[in-house]
Amino acid sequence: MEAIVCSEFGPVENLSIQELPDPVPNAGEVLIHVNAIGVNFPDALLVRGLYQVKPALPFTPGIECAGTIAALGEGVEGFSVGDRVAAMSPRFGTYSGAVTVPASHAYAIPDGLDFDHAGAMLCAHGTAYHALVQRAALRPGETLLVAGAAGGTGLAAVQIGHALGAHVIAACSSEDKMRIAKQHGADIAIHTGENDVREAVKSLTGGAGADVIFDPVGGDLAQSLARSTAWNGRWLVIGFAEGEIPKIPLNLPLVKGYSIVGVFWGSFCHHDPAQAQANHRELFDMAAGGSVKPHLHAVMPLKEATEALSQIERREVRGKIVLKP
């Protein structure tokens, strides 16, 4: 099989493509012949050695994919060879023609959903769904503010928030990104480069602030978001795409009576596999029905993994890029 290999931590340009033997599934695992791979911001962090965990070198990056089950490890029940699945890989390795994952981390793809969309759904949509449903308990009619709203997790949050009946405010850095967010369910969009975000949210919510804030950006923007949350609000900490982990004065959640809520989809899949299965089944059904389908920015051959990751780092991607082995 072909696989992208990271031999030393550093720029994504250092990645190479190599021919490696197919992995063999251990007990409880399935072997997947990969058809589509979702590219994610954390993949670039991992290659640069900036992610929460550092795998032993050399390694193959990638946390999600879709494909066909090619072999079952001992004791696996509920799957057969030939089943179409999407999967998250807790040990990375999906930038490849084949990967083994625990059977608990494979999710059956319904008819009506293709490999490209299924392979791009787990990380971004899985994170957004877990954040909005389990962590924020978003209710219909509440105001949801999404930062980085045209990016992978952001656009997923816009779609899911809209589908759950929230009033969605998108915050993005360009007119084009604002347009895409509106196409995918945002009721209104704020240009983060041209507006004072705190003042804009205040005026759009009659001074109340947003009930739920979905923040994958962090950095300076987070200082405005920390002052834009409504009484009883929930500020979802998703990530720090801007690079800086913000420091927030704790008097703000005290005075304004809001909660700061951490979200970690990968750990959630590990700690609560049954709920993760239920979430991903619900998401796939929504996708097959058309209400939350990922926006595919580009579909590229696997050998262009470096270019795909560079586009994410250059802040160019709207929605998701898919790689094809």
Ligand X SMILES: NC(=O)c1ccc[n+]([C@@H]2O[C@H](COP(=O)([O-])OP(=O)(O)OC[C@H]3O[C@@H](n4cnc5c(N)ncnc54)[C@H](OP(=O)(O)O)[C@@H]3O)[C@@H](O)[C@H]2O)c1
Interface ranges with ligand X (CB under 6 A): 40-42, 45, 123-124, 127, 148, 150-154, 172-173, 177, 192, 216-217, 238-243, 263-266, 312, 315, 317
Sign, CA dihedral 140-119-117-74, equals: negative
Instruction: Choose between 9 and 79: whose C-beta lies nearer to ligand X.
Output: 9
Q: DSSP readout, 165-211?
A: T-EEEEEESSHHHHHHHHHTT-SEEEETTTS-HHHHHHHHTTTS-EE
Angle (CA) 10-12-18 rounded to 5° is 105
HSE value, Cβ hemisphere, 13 Å, CA-based, for 224: 21
Instruction: Choose between 25 and 151: whose C-beta lies nearer to ligand X.
Output: 151
Per-residue tokens: 233: 């609000």
Per-residue tokens: 105: 């981390």
Mapping DSSP to helix (H, G, I), strand (E, B) and coil, where does residue 154 land? helix
Minimum distance from residue 40 beta carbon to ligand X (Å):
5
CB neighbours of 314 closer than 8 A, spacing ≥ 6? Answer: none
Minimum distance from residue 119 beta carbon to ligand X (Å):
14
Instruction: Choose between 179 and 202: whose C-beta lies nearer to ligand X.
Output: 179
Alpha-carbon distance of 41 to 58, in angstroms, equals 20
Minimum distance from residue 8 beta carbon to ligand X (Å):
21
Instruction: Choose between 127 and 228: whose C-beta lies nearer to ligand X.
Output: 127
Minimum distance from residue 296 beta carbon to ligand X (Å):
13
Minimum distance from residue 264 beta carbon to ligand X (Å):
5
Q: DSSP readout, 204-263?
A: HTTTS-EEEEEES--HHHHHHHTTSEEEEEEEEE---TTS------THHHHHHT-EEEE-
Minimum distance from residue 53 beta carbon to ligand X (Å):
12
- Asked if 216 contacts 153 with a C-beta cutoff of 8 angstroms, the reply is yes
Instruction: Choose between 40 and 60: whose C-beta lies nearer to ligand X.
Output: 40
Minimum distance from residue 79 beta carbon to ligand X (Å):
25
Instruction: Choose between 68 and 275: whose C-beta lies nearer to ligand X.
Output: 275
Instruction: Choose between 105 and 177: whose C-beta lies nearer to ligand X.
Output: 177
